[in-house]
Structure 1
């Protein structure tokens, strides 16, 4: 099978590459390395079934050829991370919306219709009071003027584009709403909380908690995520659907800091920062983010293999190895 991964040098994308190379597939990655890292894909460069182009999907001349070559496309390219979203809101909208439209336009023009998985985000649910987030829930969108919501708006646009192309051109497209994917190769550079906590704990602290720390999240190991995405792409009934992908184990941010310290065997100070102190502007946080996985399990029979403690142990080992090197 021929696999195209846009944003394939990113944290999740590189695990998709590894997953499909292990299956014997040919994999083509395009990434401009704005948030992806070359070191994530460097181990694959000697594999004859792997090809990499450093390019921007908004302007890359090879996108049409790559899209029509592929049997399956994982569209992961996007501007991600809270700090990037707040610092460059125009880039968020341009890349996330126009890049998706360009890819879908080329994919629909080919001689065959590739399987396409479009990465959306749990951010699209907005500041909902719901305790459990289901795919058919009403979505809450804040009024215009707050760039904090540009990422969610761009992902909603991607969802609409994907489902529209699926209906109009009969392309097998599945939209996945990812919930806090974590694991090896992830960095805290752009605001991702788990690797940031690990780095701070192992550096002697303090661990900085934004806001009160009572807000909860549900973390899914990237190795579980890529299996779920593969299963959904292989499932005809998932075509034209939106599916939550994540883990429904919920934990508060303060409890997460405690767990990181326990697994790292480090007793460090906790420091609370207001959102203005953390981001340089007012930030509207979401108090709970727990996915309903009923649809994912019903469609694919998916089961998790990785517990949060195991993911943490791998991140801690990764950081210590990098620091020693």
Structure 2
């Protein structure tokens, strides 16, 4: 799900109906996922269905598509088109049960969150509170999908969960960075004031199949350019660093946060601690593509982080999680998907 319109006259979501009982699903847990038609959300739907969850998939389709879930049968996944910043329609109000609510709704790439800047702020503020209210209604576990962007352009590396960040609150990236920081703040208040069982997950540069080819982030940019025989666009001098985590690893981290007890109020970095410069990553992409490396340098965008590297000691200790998929393997799978999408 992308962000919503967030009309200022929208009714506050103060009550939810609990109509009827789960029919035919007594032995299954129910997960509500916002942003379920998007890249990461759709992979999480796959993971939960594989583990015998019934999934209520919510999205407003601002950046996602139901095509990402077309392989699921209705008895496993209920699709609801809803802008979570607005008052819920009847089909949402009639949801009768939830064991976990996972809030992933938000534009995530610079191209999308600049195009949808106000919507991005609203979905990470109004939308997050509406998702929290939903979890509180059902006394469900709540998972907030946050981001490494809460660290801004960090002055320490690697970044641990205790680092407060270095963020420009007025910059072009602030709609996303500060939106996510606010989302974390209100989530923690629901934990403190209402005892809501929640976990906050900060994702680092997730990539893989179902990313949009025109997403604007470095992985789809490089993969598409390599497939089209174009130079790889490098911003700045290419010495800025990123840490790339394949989507199946990222989703496994979410799943472990869902199923493990005793972690309420905890924050976890979910990412790959293998730090690479952008130029080094470009070399890896060219090698997997089997093409010579050609680059085209452009000016670095404003407030673009100079480094990204997660400290995942906490996730290892409490979630039993660490990434397993190598960059080469992940890129090969990503290339295969984009070849199919681009008709090659």
Fold match (TM-score > 0.5): yes
- Residue 115 to residue 72, structure 1, CA distance change in 2 (3 Å): same
The answer to whether structure 1 residue 57 and structure 2 residue 84 are counterparts is yes
Q: Which runs of 5+ in 2 are unaligned?
A: 1-28
How far apart, CA to CA, are the structure 2 residues paired with 1:69 and 1:251? 43
Counterpart contact for 1:179–1:246, Cα < 8 Å? yes
For 1:316 and 1:141, the matched residues in 2 are separated by: 33
**Structure 1 CA distance for aligned equivalents of residues 48 and 167 of structure 2:** 36
Residues in 1 aligned to 2:76 and 2:113: alpha-carbon distance in whole angstroms: 34
Match of 1:84 among 112, 119, 122: 112
CA 1:106–1:74 in 2, change beyond 3 Å: closer, same or farther? closer
Are 1:285 and 2:304 matched, yes or no? yes
1:7 to 28, 35, 57: 35
| Aligned pairs (5 A) from 1:143-158 | 144-158=169-183
Shift in Å, 1:135: 0.5
Match of 2:48? 20
Is the 2:209–2:338 Cα contact (8 Å) retained in structure 1? no
Is the counterpart of residue 33 in structure 1 residue 61 in structure 2?
yes
Query: Which one has the bigger helix percentage?
Result: 1
| Counterpart contact for 1:64–1:106, Cα < 8 Å | no
Give the match for residue 342 of structure 2. 323
- 2:153 aligns with 127
Q: Is the 8 A contact 2:215 2:221 kept in 1?
A: no
- In structure 2, the residue corresponding to 1:238 is in which secondary structure? coil
Asked if 1 retains the 8 angstrom alpha-carbon contact of 2:63 and 2:112, the reply is: no
1:311 to 326, 330, 333: 330
Distance 2:271 2:63 in 1: 22
Secondary structure of the corresponding residue to residue 34 of structure 1: coil
**Cα 1:157–1:63, aligned 2, differ >3 Å: closer, same or farther?**
farther
Deviates more, 1:52-61 or 1:207-216: 52-61
From 262, 267, 277, the equivalent of 2:292 is 267
- Give the C-alpha shift of residue 323 in structure 1: 2.9
Q: Could you tell me which residue of structure 1 aligns to residue 238 of structure 2?
A: 213
Check the 8 A contact 1:198/1:316 in 2, yes or no: yes
**Paired residue for 2:99, among 65, 68, 71?**
71
Cα pair 1:197 1:207 within 8 Å, conserved? yes
Q: Does the residue aligned with 1:324 lie in a helix, a strand or coil? A: coil
Q: Structure 1 length normalisation: TM-score?
A: 0.92
Contact 2:155/2:166 (<8 A) preserved: no
Question: What is the CA-CA distance between 1:304 and the residue it aligns to?
Answer: 2.2
Q: How far does the alpha carbon of each residue in 1:179-216 deviate from its partner, in whole angstroms, 9 at most, with x for none?
A: 01111111242322112111100101121112211110
Q: 1:245 corresponds to which residue?
A: 270
What root-mean-square deviation, in Å, do the aligned CA atoms of Structure 1 and Structure 2 show? 1.6
State whether residues 205 and 268 of structure 1, in contact with CA within 8 Å, keep that contact through their aligned partners in structure 2: no
Q: CA deviation at 1:258?
A: 1.0
**Counterpart Cα distance in 2 of 1:211 and 1:65:** 51
Question: For 2:65 and 2:327, how far apart are their aligned partners in 1?
Answer: 24
Q: 2: CA distance between counterparts of 1:234 and 1:321?
A: 34
TM-score (norm 2): 0.87
Unaligned runs of 5+ in 1: 276-281
The offset of 1:64, in angstroms, is 4.6
Matched length:
314
Q: Indicate the residue corresponding to 2:26 in structure 1.
A: none
